[in-house]
Amino acid sequence: MFNPFVINGIIPDKYFCDREKETEKLLRCVRNQSNVLLTSPRRMGKTQLIRHLYQQEDICQSYYTFYVDIYSTTSLQEFILLLGKEIYNTLVPKGKKVLDSFLNVIKSLSGSFGYDALTGLPSFDVKLGDIRMPELTLSEIFDYLENADKPCVCTIDEFQQIGKYPENNVEAQLRTLVQKMNNCRFIFAGSDRHTLENMFNSPAKPFYNSVEQMYLDRIDKSVYIGFMQQCFEETGRPVQDLTVFEYIYDLFEGHTYYVHQTLHNVFAYYDSWTTVTETLINDVVSEILQDKEHSFLTQLSLLNYTQKETLIAIAKDVNATEVTSAAFVRRHSLQSPSAVQNAVRTLLNLQMITYRQNGRTKVYSISDRFLQMWIARKY
């Protein structure tokens, strides 16, 4: 039986939950020629939302859509390679004429991709070392996007990464190129909200004030519960007691990936259990934590003592406030406020913890909710 709670790859439209307003807003931005900054906590659903946008009829018929996740890139060359390859891969199925219009513009790499001399089939064999003039190749790629025979939408996911490239003017370079575009809209996405907002909201930065900003929050509780109910009803074995859905939602404060992963496993068990109960849900969660234990232990082994005890303290509080206060330090038997402050900085950089602003207070939490639960149970 197909599991309606999809946790890997592309989610069929039917099993994509809500995000109607967000999809509408993105569509409006694309049509109105605005670029967008899309942020959210990790695993809230940014990438899936963008994929969903790309599946909208208007978009897939009238636009070329490109998507690159640059999380693993550490240089402008790698960025160019990923983007070039994505455009190439998207255009190959569209036929020779469309592909040629791209190949003809990217003159700086003409030896490394095009058509295989023997088979005549399209081939892409660019290596990082072939990108000898990154600035030139980058501007050729943007030339293509500007002159393509259809308008384009290009998503750069985990965009904060460009701030870490050794070349120090990448932000300014990209901003100049993006600014000139009439034929291509950009969606910049990422979960490192602090870095991204700094990139887009501080007057001294090249991207200052250049985009519409969108923060992706949790899916509304009643909408999510309605979706869960519908997915189970479809199987002909509806869940009688809807409070169990509410229980799952609340357990993870509606955080999409965690809710979905749990539902996926609950559904997988469903055949052999007559009813979905809170006990079953708790068992499923314990099993997930057990499966992840090895990876959690590895993550903790990379931290020093202070970082580890700070992480544990935050996990225990779930939503921790005033972490550098004497009260917090005392309650969790930590070393000192300044040691906690340093540890918090490192943990934020590692994206192991995150924070949101509640008025003037910072509320810290563990980014991975399964890790939070595991620590809280273990320590």
Ligand X SMILES: Nc1ncnc2c1ncn2[C@@H]1O[C@H](COP(=O)(O)OP(=O)(O)OP(=O)(O)O)[C@@H](O)[C@H]1O
The site for ligand X (CB under 6 A) is made up of 6-7, 11, 16-19, 40, 42-48, 191, 256-257, 260
Per-residue tokens: 74: 């550490």
Q: Which residues are within 8 A (CB) of 244 and not within 5 positions of it... i.e. 6 or more apart?
A: 276, 277, 278, 281
Provide the CA 216 distance to its chain's centre, in angstroms.
11
Q: What DSSP string describes 149-192?
A: SS-EEEEEETGGGGGGSSSTTHHHHHHHHHHT-SSEEEEEEES-
* DSSP classification of residue 242: T
Q: Is 367 in the site for Mg ion (CB under 5 A)?
A: no
47 or 342, CB closer to ligand X?
A: 47
Q: How far is CA 240 from CA 230, 245, 269, 277, 283, in A?
A: 12, 10, 16, 10, 19
Residue placing its CB nearer to ligand X in the complex, 40 or 137: 40
- The nearer residue to Mg ion, 70 or 311, going by C-beta atoms, is 70
Q: Which does 43 bind (CB under 5 to 8 A by kind): Mg ion, ligand X, none?
A: ligand X
CB of 214 to ligand X, least distance (A): 12
Residue 84 interacts with which of Mg ion, ligand X, none, CB < 5 to 8 Å by class: none
Closest of 246, 210, 206 to residue 227, by C-alpha: 246
Which residue type does 339 have? Answer: A
Q: Which of Mg ion, ligand X, none sits in contact with 257, Cβ below 5 to 8 A by type?
A: ligand X
CB of residue 167 to ligand X, shortest distance in Å: 24
229 binds Mg ion (CB under 5 A): no
Position closest to ligand X via CB: 45
Report how far apart the first and last C-alpha atoms of the chain are (Å, whole number).
Answer: 39
The minimum distance between CB 11 and ligand X, in angstroms, equals 5
For residue 204, the minimal CB distance to ligand X (Å) is: 27
In the list ligand X, Mg ion, none, the entry touching 19 (Cβ below 5 to 8 angstroms by class) is ligand X
Could you tell me if 245 and 229 are in contact, meaning their C-beta atoms sit under 8 angstroms apart?
yes
For strand 152-157 and strand 64-69, is the pairing parallel, antiparallel, or unpaired? parallel
Q: How far apart are CA 295 and CA 308, in angstroms?
A: 15
Nearer to ligand X, 256 or 265 (CB): 256
With beta carbons less than 8 A apart as the criterion, state whether 90 and 82 touch. no
Stretch that binds Mg ion, among 46-54, 109-117, 230-238, 343-351 (CB under 5 A): 46-54
For ligand X, give the closer residue by CB, 6 or 181: 6
- Gap between the Cα atoms of 277 and 302, Å rounded: 37
> Which single residue is written with the structure tokens 């809170």?
278
Residue 185 contact, options Mg ion, ligand X, none, Cβ 5-8 Å cut-off depending on partner type: none
- Please say which residue, 40 or 108, places its beta carbon nearer to Mg ion: 40
In sequence order, the 6+-apart residues with CB closer than 8 A to the CB of 323 are: 310, 313, 314, 340, 344, 362, 364
Q: Which of 172/223 has CB closer to ligand X?
A: 223
Alpha-carbon dihedral 186, 187, 192, 195, rounded to 10 degrees: 30
Question: Smallest distance from the beta carbon of 138 to ligand X, in angstroms?
Answer: 24
| 237 contacts: CB under 8 Å, gap ≥ 6 | 270
- Which region among 45-53, 91-99, 128-136, 343-351 touches Mg ion (by CB under 5 A)? 45-53
CB 21, min distance to ligand X, A: 12
Contact 371, 299 (CB under 8 A): yes
What's the min distance (Å) between Cβ of 31 and ligand X? 22
Q: Which is nearer to ligand X, 15 or 247 (CB)?
A: 15
Question: Minimal distance in Å, beta carbon 71 to ligand X?
Answer: 8
Residue 47 in contact with Mg ion, rule: CB under 5 A: yes
Q: Choose the contact partner of 11 out of ligand X, Mg ion, none; CB within 5 to 8 A by kind.
A: ligand X
Shortest distance in whole angstroms from residue 259 CB to Mg ion: 16
Pick 18 or 86: Cβ nearer ligand X: 18
| Interaction site with Mg ion (CB under 5 A) | 46-47
